[in-house]
Amino acid sequence: MSAVIQTNQPVATSPLATGGADRVIVFDGERQATLAAFLGQVRGLAAALPPGRHAINLCEDRYRFLVAFCAVAVRGQTTLLPPSRAPAVIADELRRHGDCYCLGDGELVDPPPHYWRLPAILPELPGDAPCVEDDALVAIGFTSGSTGEPKPNPKTWQGFRTSSAQNLAALGDLWPAGTQPQLVATVPPQHMYGMEMSVLLPLLGEVAIHAARPFFPEDIARALRDAHAPRVLVTTPVHLRALVESSVELPSMAGIVSATAPLSATLASAAESRFGCEVREVFGSTETCVIARRRTACEEAWTPLPGVHVQPQPDGSLVHARHLPAPVALADLVEATPDGRFILRGRQADLLEIAGKRASLGDLTRQLQAVPGVRDGVVFQLDACPTRGVGRIAALAVADIDEASILDVLRRGIDPVFLPRPLRRVSALPRNETGKLPRAALLSLLQGDVQ
C-alpha cells in the first residue's frame, strides 16, 4: 500500500513597488507623494473597492490611476485597458465582462453602469508593503483597432516586472547614474505605452512621474517646469511635432522618449536641435510591450532590449522575450542586420500591389505629409471591390491647400495607380489619445462631407 504525500508549494510573490519609503513616486506643482504615503492609500482603497473580477480604470489624474490600479491588483482583480474610453467602447467591455465595474476620479455627466467613484480623500491603512502573486493577471490590454477589431492581451505581474527592467535598461543612460529622473507623460496611463512608461516605471524603478497628462505645448512646458532635473518627456510624434512647431520654451531635459506611431528622422533631428537632448524612439505593441529602441535622428536600425530577439518571418516577425510566456507573432516585416539589430520594412497589410507595381501605405503617407501646406494626413486602402478585386487608395488631409493642389504635388513622386482617390480635405484626423488612427474612424470620416 502506498501513500500519496501532498505538499503545498509556496506561491511566488513580488513587491508592488520598489525603493525607500521616502522616495517620491508622483509629483505636480503642488505636491510630492512618497512611496510610503502612496502604499498606505493603496491598502486603504483596496479594502474599500467593490467586488468583481475586472475593473476599468477611468481616472484622469495619474496619481489616482496609480493608486486605483495597484489597489485593484492587491484585491486580486484585473484591470481592463480598452483601446478607448469612449462610452460605446466601455459599454462593450462591460457587456463582455459581466463581473466588471468602472472606477474613476470624476463626477461623470453620463456615467457607465457599475461606476464607482474614488473618495475625494483617499483612505489610508497602515501595514506591510503589499505584494502581488507573480502569475497574477493584473491587466488585459487591448490593441488599438487601427487594423481591425481590438484584441485582448493578458499581462501578468511577473511579465510586467521583467519588461519594466528591460525598459529601465533601455532608457537609463539618458540620465546621470545615481539620479532620480522626473518624467512628464503626454500619453494616458490606460494605453500600454503609457502603462509601461508612466505607471510601471515609477512603481518598479527609481523614477517619479507628473500626475497630469498635458496636451498643448504650453501645458507640457508648465509640467516640465514642475519637475526637477533630470527631466524626461514621454510623448508621441503628434505632440512632438506640435512642440517643435510652437514657440514654447522648455526647460532643459535629459531626453525625450517617443512611441505609438512612426517618428521621422526629420522630426527627430528637429526636436534634438530645438530642445538640446536626445530623442529616443521605442518600438513595441500591446501584444509585446516595448521590445526595441533607437536614436531616430541618426539610426535606421532598432536595437532589441536585453533578452529580446526579433525573428523575421515571411508574413511578419516573431518576437521572443523573457517577459513573454510564448513567442508573439507581429505583422511588422523586419530585416535582420549582422549586428543583431533589425530594420522595419512596414507591415504585410500595408504593402500594395496594383497592376504589377508595388508601394507601401507608410511611404505614401510620408509623401502626403511632406507636401507643402499639408499639416497632417494619412493614406489607406479601402476594402476590396467585388468587381475589381482591389481596394481603392484613399487619403485624408488636414491642409491649407485644396485637394487638386495636393494631387498635383503627389503626381511628381507617386505612380498614377497609387494616387489616392478619393482624397478628402478635413479639419482634423480622428486620432485617438495616443495619435493612432482607428480604421473605423477613418472610414466614417471619409464618408462624411468634404471640408
One domain, residues 182 and 95: yes
- What's the confidence (pLDDT) of residue 8? 60
| Calpha distance 61→59 (Å, rounded) | 6
- Among 346, 363, 393, which residue terminates a domain? 346
Is residue 389 over pLDDT 60? no
Residue 1 is assigned to a structural domain of this protein: no
pLDDT tens for each residue of 184-206: 999 999 999 999 999 999 999 99
| Calpha distance 34→21 (Å, rounded) | 7
Strands 357-360 and 351-354: antiparallel
C-alpha cell at 359: 508601394
One domain, residues 211 and 281: yes
| Calpha distance 103→123 (Å, rounded) | 15
12 vs 6, more confident = 12
- Among 299, 314, 346, which residue terminates a domain? 346
Average pLDDT on 206-232 reads 96
Average pLDDT on 242-253 reads 95
One domain, residues 377 and 236: no
One domain, residues 217 and 362: no
One domain, residues 338 and 362: no
pLDDT tens for each residue of 18-57: 999 999 999 999 989 999 999 999 999 999 999 999 999 9
One domain, residues 378 and 326: no
Average pLDDT on 356-379 reads 86
- SS3 state at 285: strand
| CATH number, residue 46 | 3.40.50.12780
Residue 7 is assigned to a structural domain of this protein: no
Residue 5 is assigned to a structural domain of this protein: no
C-alpha cell at 292: 526595441
Residue 222 is assigned to a structural domain of this protein: yes
> Which structural domain, as residue segments, surrounds residue 437?
355-446
One domain, residues 145 and 223: yes
Average pLDDT on 144-171 reads 86
pLDDT tens for each residue of 289-331: 999 999 999 999 999 999 999 999 988 999 999 999 999 999 8
The number of domains in the chain is 2
One domain, residues 225 and 195: yes
One domain, residues 376 and 238: no
Residue 10 is assigned to a structural domain of this protein: no
One domain, residues 340 and 370: no
Is residue 275 over pLDDT 80? yes
Q: Is 346 exposed, middle or buried (0-12, 13-18, 19+ CB in 10 A)?
A: middle
Where are the alpha helices (H) located in 264-402, listed in sequence order? 265-275, 361-369
- Among 314, 346, 378, which residue terminates a domain? 346
| CATH number, residue 428 | 3.30.300.30
The confidence band for 247, taking pLDDT boundaries of 50, 70 and 90, is very high
Backbone angles phi and psi of 85, in degrees to 5? -100, 15
- What's the confidence (pLDDT) of residue 386? 52
C-alpha cell at 305: 532590449
One domain, residues 278 and 333: yes
Residue closest to 241 by CA, chosen among 213, 275, 207, 194? 275
Residue 4 is assigned to a structural domain of this protein: no
Residue 67 is assigned to a structural domain of this protein: yes
Mean of pLDDT over the chain: 90
Provide CB contacts within 8 A for 97, sequence distance 6+: 53, 54, 80
> Which pTM does this prediction carry?
0.84
Residue 8 is assigned to a structural domain of this protein: no
| Calpha distance 277→56 (Å, rounded) | 36
One domain, residues 317 and 261: yes
Please say whether the dihedral angle defined by the alpha carbons of residues 70, 75, 76 and 77, taken in this order, is positive or negative: negative
- What's the confidence (pLDDT) of residue 450? 38
Share of the chain above pLDDT 70, in %: 93
- Grid cell 535622428 is found at 297
The separation between CA 300 and the C-alpha centre of its own chain, rounded to angstroms, equals: 21
